[in-house]
Structure 1
Amino acid sequence: MRNFYFNHDGNVDDLVSLILLLKMPDVKLLGVGVTDADCYVEPAASASQKIIDLFGQDGRKPRDVAKSNSRAAHQFPKEWRLSSFSFDDFPILNEHGEPQTPLAVKPAHLDMIDKIKKADSKVTLVMTGPLSDLARALKIDPTISNQIEKLYWMGGALNSKGNVFEPGADDTMEWNAYWDAPAVKTVWDSDLDIVMVGLDSTDQVPLTKELRLRWAKQRRYPALDLIGQGYSLVHSFEAGSIYYLWDVLTTLVSNYPELTDSKQVRTDVITSGPSEGRTYQTDQGREITFIQNVDAKAFYNKIDELARLN
């Protein structure tokens, strides 16, 4: 059984990732933290509580959900964040009333420290939002890095264009990095073993009409029913825009590395100016594991396989 801690920022892809983590039979999920980034933290934390109630298994599920009090340097667009309210309102998550999984007393960065330090073995840390809580945790107690097996982070981009189209930004950065670029730098300057799942690889796993229909035909499985409902909330209305399974790829790679291939690269991050948040390759940077290519068919099949488990 592998120990995991999951820190996410509450949009559809994050909440689907939580479902799949709870479904992994060899994963013990020690804790969940929710950052007020690509969501509103109250409904996203509430939805996380209800997902744990519905899909958590005794002995493998977290005892609570921690809300982050980290704040953005650059906040996500409001229109993207609203889906957390709708997800939290799905009937399948509310038919049994108020959530039984409580909220943690401490904010997410302190909860992360506690859960990691109390673990009986090293912890795999999966983060599908900004790195702010981890950066704050490392500043308070740098020794937690000794108890972290690896950090899997959905963020950054090396060889592809970024996805931030904001005034003053030069479009070279990815949103989770742009939200708090100094936090990325703090983590990069640590001795953690980092696996970066950036836009370069997530762009290989789009959300397609065929996927929506595939999940719709499997509604008899509660997890796939909820996954299908969740993705019904997201549509890309801009010309040429596509929604990708960014966070789900990161989550699955953390336990099923055979779905991708990777290479070791040296990278750094820009923390100010028009390229704030840009991750880039440089011989003077720190070494990370960079996910390159995805076996997309195997990836989509793994989602279905996990979601169908009892």
Structure 2
Amino acid sequence: MKELVLMDHDGGIDDLLSVLLLLTMPNIELIGITVTPADCFLEPAIESTYKLLQMTQKEHIPIGRGTFNGVNAFPSEWRARPEIVNSLPMLINLPPSPDPYSLPTAVDLMIASLEAAEAPVKIIMTGPCSNLVLAIEQKPSIATKIKEVIWMGGAFRTPGNVQTYQHNGTAEWNVYWDPIHAQKLFELELPLILIPLDVTNHVPVDKAFLSKLAKQAKYELSNLAAQFWALTVDNIPSYHYIYYMWDILATSYVALEHYFVVEDVQAEVVVRPPNAGQTLLSNSPNSRRVKIAVDVDKEVFYKYLFTQFKADFLAIP
């Protein structure tokens, strides 16, 4: 029996690549995708998500639209990336996606998907955690259907990647967008594994990687993935910002769990400036036990990506 997986993403380039990666995994069944309007504008991100499902003939997978907006907005230029994705040659002429406002809300889809699941569900979140927390607050019984939550979030023993006013640089963006619900997620004490910057910093998207991927562009999936990652090169490098395998690494944990080094820690989320969104190792009354990935077998990870992306869309299981 395939493992049931529910995905929540926030529309960035690496989120959409993570959708593609999940779709290549033969041992999982993706039962739903919800989209958070964090690192994206909602409408084009839903269109991008649907286009990827069309390419892989998986349009039956339901999509939910996030209706919650976080405390600290992502930069608009980052949020606009799905507009570019939708104009790529392999995607622009696909049939139109559904009206986003005809889709169920992300919270409603999460609740319905978990309630209907006949086995425990793994949840992979590559954006903020708000939809999941809101769904559990509305329907607490669904927590019993969750096998594990894998979240690309946090920065524990390394600097954050938030550089903005009234912030000291200690937070990671997915947590910073909505630190209040992030702390609530910790307090729910779900089986939670975080894939933080501590480990994603080990796997950059560099020119050598892009060059090697381009050499297998005869494969449709590699071709499209290479186009996606090419849209990030204006960030590689900049003065303060380098693109990493944030969401892709977190998604790969579904298949490569045994190649990660994981620690049990006591931690909390700070909710106020100047370090709002910092995931702080702590023994305070607000802290909870969580698992964090601290290392990964990089050779296995990169080899896995190159192998998974050697696929034609119609050959995806």
TM-score range, shorter chain: over 0.9
Quote how far apart the aligned CAs of 1:117 are: 1.1
CA contact (8 A) 1:156 1:173 kept: yes
Partner of 1:86: 84
Partner of 2:15: 14
CA contact (8 A) 2:152 2:196 kept: yes
Partner of 2:48: 47
CA contact (8 A) 1:181 1:270 kept: yes
Q: Which runs of 5+ in 2 are unaligned?
A: none
Partner of 1:191: 189
Quote how far apart the aligned CAs of 1:177 are: 0.5
Partner of 2:262: 262
For each residue in 1:119-167, what CA deviation from the matched residue of structure 2 results, as whole angstroms up to 9, or x when unmatched?
Answer: 1100000000011101111110111111000000001110000111111
TM-score between the two structures when normalised by the length of structure 1: 0.95
Q: Which runs of 5+ in 1 are unaligned?
A: none
Partner of 1:120: 118
Q: Percent identity?
A: 30
SS of 1:63 mapped into structure 2: coil
Quote how far apart the aligned CAs of 1:106 are: 1.6
1:57-206 alignment runs, 5 A limit: 62-99=60-97, 105-206=103-204
- Amino acid of the structure 2 residue aligned with 1:202: T
Partner of 1:286: 288
CA contact (8 A) 1:125 1:152 kept: yes
- Amino acid of the structure 2 residue aligned with 1:185: Q
CA contact (8 A) 1:49 1:102 kept: no
Quote how far apart the aligned CAs of 1:48 are: 0.5
Quote how far apart the aligned CAs of 1:94 are: 3.3
Partner of 1:35: 36
Partner of 1:247: 247
- 249-258 vs 175-184, greater mean Cα deviation: 249-258
Q: 1: distance between equivalents of 2:91 and 2:116?
A: 30
Q: 2: distance between equivalents of 1:271 and 1:56?
A: 42
Does the C-alpha gap of structure 1 residues 4 and 150 become closer, same or farther in structure 2, counting only changes over 3 Å? Answer: same
Quote how far apart the aligned CAs of 1:100 are: 7.7
Q: 1: distance between equivalents of 2:240 and 2:76?
A: 21
CA contact (8 A) 2:51 2:94 kept: no
CA RMSD of aligned residues (A): 1.7
2:286 counterpart of 1:272: no
Q: 1: distance between equivalents of 2:48 and 2:160?
A: 29
Does the C-alpha gap of structure 1 residues 56 and 149 become closer, same or farther in structure 2, counting only changes over 3 Å? Answer: farther
Q: 2: distance between equivalents of 1:277 and 1:217?
A: 40
